[in-house]
Structure 1
């Protein structure tokens, strides 16, 4: 086999183009993922051209180190409309509704809109991430109830410069997740977060330098409520709109033991009213907030010679 032929095989294995118009290697994103090697030796880069991709996409556990990179986040759209009642598989139907489901570790996505269009019909996930060392950058994550599911005890996830919208508990799960420079948009009076942080985890959700916005009619939003009793959620130097209620936080039913850790640090905006927050929440001081660094929350890449995993991987 000639050197040129070897090069073509390498490009086919590790670099793929998806295009709805047929100008790429595949017309569906799932086809490109399914054609990828299990447990590859290097990162698999899948470039997705502009278009509306109506499909449920799953990145399996045997597909680690995949980069899914759109051409333009406003024009590269992955969309589907599954929801709890449509799936109808019993009490855990929610977890089958995701438009994009990620189980492969070290996944990276950028420049995409990930959307669930089921509407106001109950639980309907747009993006489900049940994997470790996942970075989602410059993406729109759109839905209503349960838009973003961050799953995996001990798993670390990073959402950077994303737009995330929803109604009820639209960011939920037990993974440790950092949201930096994101816009978090509420479409109804309800709750933004529903963390289920394990008791032994030092961090749950951390929002840093984000902006909380809402539809015009929305006026009664809580920053979070605990899906499980050891939930941890912190907002750091975030702009909070006037749609957030002055008490800030809520319990799940009002009857459970209160072990949640909810806090803010140097937030701004009309919805930031520290003097009116519920008494069991916290306003951090400079010493307490010092531990909320990207290195502490997300860890490192491994050896000292490696770049941290939360830096965008190189592309071809």
Structure 2
């Protein structure tokens, strides 16, 4: 299936190609996309779909919804309605595609998701994710709201199943809490770029809400953490829920990473339940000697447990 804005394919929009497939699609379908900026609020709610750019064509999927947008009913859209792309079909993959939310700075518009992923066996390869506040959400939503949460959105009220996702050689750019949620997700050889907000606390790379009975949350392997922010202004993570799990394995960290590494989100009790771990962090921000006392420094033997195969199971046993 080919999507092309100049009508040289079967479809001129990505959504039209997805909509043409049966609801319970069982055949692996590849949607090839020709170069262009596709202004679409994309919903991929069918399984076994791959989207990819054709050759080296530059494909950007972009939209500008945001949490503070007032809807027709007079209410704000909220975080989870602000997505550019919503992916709820299992066995989805994307290659060489940029997902963008162009709504603007979070200080003005609030949260604005580039992708909302709530499915199992999801992979992104050579993709970019561009936004400001809360760029990448990997669901499901936590089971119970806490103070400050405003759930709503397209998946509210549905059965929550923890999915797995794999990001390979991707670029993620944003400022506050920009990778957040409950999923088990591996970020492998990715660049995570933190935008400068010129603040003492410039941002938090992660805000995991890992369920208590889930062994792995967010795992970063051989990644580069970069930024144009001032030194010592960005935390590696803070716990959206008390049992948050996040690990950095063999990652290069720029000087923007705060010496203490992790924040408890003003929840001292979370220090006893979170699992924030590092192994062989290096670079200007990779000094683990000054991390908070409740973070964990993995031994070489412990770090071996954080293999892609162990984390994601047979789905990614080729890695």
Q: What stretches of structure 1 of length at least 5 have no aligned partner?
A: 1-15, 302-307, 312-316
SS at match of 1:296: helix
Structure 2 residue ranges without an equivalent (≥5): 141-160, 197-201
User: SS of the residue aligned with 1:179?
Assistant: strand
Distance (whole Å) between structure 1 residues aligned to residue 242 and residue 267 of structure 2: 11
Aligned residues: 288
Match of 2:239 in 1: 226
Residue 38 of structure 1 and its aligned partner are, at CA, apart by 2.0
Please point out which of 159, 174, 177 is paired with 1:166: 174
Map of 2:280 onto structure 1: 266
Q: Select between 80-89 and 26-35 the one with higher mean Cα deviation.
A: 80-89
In 2, Cα distance between equivalents of 1:296 and 1:309: 8
Q: Does structure 1 conserve the Cα–Cα contact (< 8 Å) formed by 2:66 and 2:77?
A: no
1:148 to 126, 136, 147: 136
* Aligned pairs for 1:181-260 within 5 A: 181-188=189-196, 189-217=202-230, 219-258=232-271, 259-260=273-274
The one of 28, 37, 43 aligned to 1:52? 37
Q: Which has the higher mean CA deviation after the structures are superposed, 168-177 or 69-78?
A: 69-78
TM-score of the pair, normalised by structure 2? 0.86
The two structures have a TM-score, normalised by structure 1, of 0.87
| Aligned twin of 1:26 | 11
Give 1:294 shift: 1.1
Taking a change above 3 Å as real, the CA distance of residues 310 and 52 of structure 1, as seen in their structure-2 partners, is: farther
Task: Name the counterpart of 1:10.
Answer: none
Q: After superposition, where does 1:85-164 map in structure 2 within 5 Å?
A: 85-86=68-69, 88=71, 93-120=78-105, 121-152=109-140, 153-164=161-172
CA shift in 2, pair 1:92/1:21, >3 Å: closer
Q: 1:225-253: per-residue Cα shift (whole Å, max 9, x none)? A: 00000000000000000000100000112
C-alpha distance in 1, partners of 2:286/2:192?
15
Q: Are the aligned partners of 1:207 and 1:235 in contact in 2 as well (CA < 8 Å)?
A: yes
Q: 1:152-184: CA deviations, max 9, x gaps?
A: 343111011000011100000000000000000
3-state SS, counterpart of residue 16 of structure 2 = helix
Give distance in 2, aligned partners of 1:198 and 1:155.
11
Alignment check: 8 A CA contact 2:68 2:77 kept:
no
- Higher Cα radius of gyration: 1
Pair 1:292 & 2:306 matched: yes
Does the CA contact (< 8 Å) of 2:182 and 2:209 recur in 1? yes
* Larger mean Cα displacement after TM superposition, 45-54 or 255-264: 255-264
Q: Give 1:40 shift.
A: 2.2
> CA-to-partner distance for each residue in 1:174-223, whole Å, 9 max, x for gaps?
00000000000101311010000000111000000000000255650000
The 1:281–1:255 alpha-carbon spacing in structure 2 relative to 1, beyond 3 Å, is: closer
Q: CA 1:35–1:127 in 2, change beyond 3 Å: closer, same or farther?
A: same
Distance 2:56 2:245 in 1: 30
